Amino acid sequence: MSLLADNANTTVESVKAPEQPKAGSSGVVAVRRWLARWWVLIPLAIMIAWAVVPALFSGYDPITGVPADKLTGPSAEHLFGTDHLGRDVFSRVVYGTRQTLLTAGLACLIGSIIGSVLGLLAGTAGRFADSVAMRLVDVILAVPAFLIALILVTATEPGPLSLGIGVGIASIAAFARLVRTEVLRVRSRDFVQAALMSGGKYFTVLRRHIIPHVIGPVLSLLAVDLGAAILAISGLGFLGFGSPPPTPEWGLLISEGRQYLSVAWWLTTLPGLVIVAAVMLMATLGRAINKTFRF
């Protein structure tokens, strides 16, 4: 009997109900998931602060240097070292963030607005509008995006405005194709068809039922495109089509430092790492937005 009782007790213990999560554990899990997805906001906030209040991060003048301190390596006093004129490189990177982000933001604004309008028309305004919009997109896609920006910048006066417009026009096709695809996907759903069959007006159905489901992928692409715009603008700035010196700009910093690459590696390496980090952060932000607004 004792053996049977022991076996019964062992069986009961083995099938014991799983432990319930402790009170408040679900909130902790939610916070952990949020942090795992949105940690990227911390370095992005720092980058935005560089653009808005650069004086809080560096006390050195980005334009005027100290000749006695020229080509000094990275140290506690000069985090990114100094250039050939004795200017603090970290200060120039921080102050150059505003110029680079404003130009990239202009490019994304142009590309997202024009591309989204073309995509909406292609997906909702009928076959003729679809054909015209997609043929225009095909023309843009036929030429490499960097080459489009380079042609437009060289055809006008080089500067931040022409740079932003050139890069923005090159990014129209990506937004147009994405919005068209998402609109066609949402239009096939039952609630949209029901709204149309019940007499819903075009703009009402568009505003209430289609655009809310399209805005998530557009924001995700906007973040990724901002990183691509930063890379393209830095490349064009490296070629000399950005702001003229001594205005600090990320691409210009690398262009100035390439002449001293053998004796001052930090002039190109450290600003280049900042550009790479910015592009990767934007791509991570795009993935986080896509997961959050996924329908």
DSSP per residue over 171-231, as a string?
THHHHHHHHHHHHHHHHTSHHHHHHHHTT--HHHHIIIIIHHHHHHHHHHHHHHHHHHHHH
Q: Give pTM, 2 decimals.
A: 0.82
Cα separation, 175 vs 27, in Å, equals: 36
- Tens of pLDDT along 47-69? 999 999 999 998 899 998 888 88
Per-residue pLDDT at 117: 92
Q: Encode pLDDT of 202-257 as tens digits.
A: 677 777 778 888 888 899 999 999 999 999 999 988 988 888 888 889 999 999 89
Farthest CA pair distance, the chain: 98
Spans in the chain with pLDDT lower than 70: 1-37, 196, 200, 202, 294-295
User: Which residue is it, tokens 């150059």?
Assistant: 96
Alpha carbon distance 69, 87 (integer Å)? 8
Domains of the chain, first to last? 81-292 (1.10.3720.10)
